[in-house]
Amino acid sequence: MDQRTILRLVAEVPEHEGFPLVDDLHARFDALAAAHPEQVTVTRIGTSRLGEPLHSYRIGSGSHAAVVVGGVHPNEPIGSWTALHLAETMVGDEATARALDTTWHIVPTIDPDGMRLNEAWFRDPFDRAWYARHFYRPAPDSQVEWTFPNSYRSVYFDQVLPETLAFMRLIDDTRPDLLVSLHNGEMGGVYYYLSEDLPDVIDTLHAVPASLGLPLDTGEPESPYLRELAPAVFAMDGIETAYDYLEGLGVDPGEHIHGASSAAWAMRHGALCMVAELPFWSHPDADDQTPTSESYADLLRRCADDLGASGAELQEILDDASPMLTIESPFLEGSRAFIPMIAGMTDTDRARADREPADRTATVAERFGCEDLVRCFRLRYGGMLLRALEAETTAGTAPAPLRRLRDRLAERYATWQADEATGAEPIPISKLVGVQFGAILACASHVAEGDDGRHGAGPTRASRPSLATSVPGGA
């Protein structure tokens, strides 16, 4: 499939208002399967922690296998529409399905329990204040994407979740040529992770957002140790790369690294792995390479100080509230994991700032990325802590001191909501889905056109575990 065809298909992605709720998403997939029983096979692959069946939808009978999984982080729903559009295309577009010669195994959402806790903002996803106030992200050890088995030096992880086990079995049963884990970011531009340096694929990964008028994110990467294959395209280097980097800074890697990713598991079978990270909002500074008057080291220190101050405020409220909390909600579990993590992140940034050349000037894109990370984290995790406290006030179990802490946090949170980045614009959902869809087509086309009989032959590609975010669970 040539690039022109991919761009045509991307341009045909329909517009959507908001994101589908979990029940609606499942109903749409079930209706597709019922309407096309000769093309779609539904297989139960596992059960969520709260007892919901997990299904994979097999479409087609091509000679290559692809696994595409949504909801690996339940606050990242762009992949819901992408998964559905991919399924509908492979059922209804015979020419495209034939050209890709692929058997698709699509999981609409692998963490329905977590996704339901974000549904309050799915209908209106472009109000960042509303989004953050109703935000939920599981604690790292409760994230499907980052709870695959891992063993490297002092790190050993085997606390596999039921959803992760289902994901693992699907990968092992299908031995995919291609794995796509459907993610998205929050603010800025488009960027990718790719397990192999493939110039033909990378060229299309750049062409797709350009055709839709979306910028690449060329500012601060998710982690400083990422290896750039091309602008806004990063290698899926292994967990050991993160470990060695943190250790070199004098930071205990065991505080940041636990489980491995889905790509790490799939690469054991020789899979090409790809992640397309997409923002809900774009900003003109996201790809502005103009130098600023601030050194990069000073930028790191300044933003570390700002983030550390916000983290300290949240930690104080959490510590004061903890003796009075009786409801072990997912919001409390997440708060207890992420709020202390903020302090560790600031220590890491200060340590790496000391190693930056004094004359290395920050770009506008880097400044925007660092400053917006501060806004992102205090809005996300301040909102989650508020939800944890409100679980008590709503249930009627909160004593007066806990209600006062809730009011104190709500007042501080309102000031953070007011400190929003000016100039941010929401991106039409069709363009976001289009980027993911186009990236999938580019990778599947590469696999189909480069058939060398590797499928099912074991780990013939690079077999190092992948790292698809800055710190597992952190982004």
Averaged over successive runs of 10 residues, the pLDDT of the chain (475 residues) comes to 97 96 98 98 98 98 97 96 98 97 98 98 91 94 93 91 98 98 92 96 98 88 86 89 85 82 94 96 89 96 95 97 97 96 87 89 93 93 97 96 97 91 88 98 95 39 32 45
Q: Residues of CATH 3.40.630.10 domain(s) within the chain?
A: 3-283+425-449
Residue-level pLDDT at 218: 83
Residue-level pLDDT at 451: 55
Task: Report the CATH number of the 3-283+425-449 domain.
Answer: 3.40.630.10
Residue-level pLDDT at 465: 29
CA distance 290 to 22: 42
How buried is residue 120: exposed, middle or buried, by Cβ count under 10 Å (0-12/13-18/19+)?
middle
How buried is residue 161: exposed, middle or buried, by Cβ count under 10 Å (0-12/13-18/19+)?
buried
Residue-level pLDDT at 352: 87
Residue-level pLDDT at 58: 98
CA distance 450 to 453: 9
* C-alpha 459, offset from chain centre: 25
Residue-level pLDDT at 460: 31
Residue with tokens 């802590």: 385
- How is 168-201 classified by DSSP, letter by letter? HHHHHHH--SEEEE----SEE-BEEEESS--HHH
- Amino acid present at 160: V
Q: Which of 257, 388, 375, 241 is nearest to 324 (CA)?
A: 388
CA distance 91 to 33: 10
Asked if 57 contacts 33 with a C-beta cutoff of 8 angstroms, the reply is yes
Residue with tokens 């599947």: 444
Beta bridge partners of 65: 103
Element spanning 241, H or E: helix 239-248
pTM of the predicted structure, to 2 decimals: 0.91
Q: Which CA distances in Å does 103 have to 39, 66, 189, 272?
A: 10, 6, 31, 15
Residue-level pLDDT at 453: 39
Asked if 463 contacts 248 with a C-beta cutoff of 8 angstroms, the reply is no
Q: Which of 75, 139, 140 is nearest to 472 (CA)?
A: 140
For the record, the structure tokens of 11 come out as 């341009």
- Alpha-helical segments (H) within 269-363: 296-321, 330-353
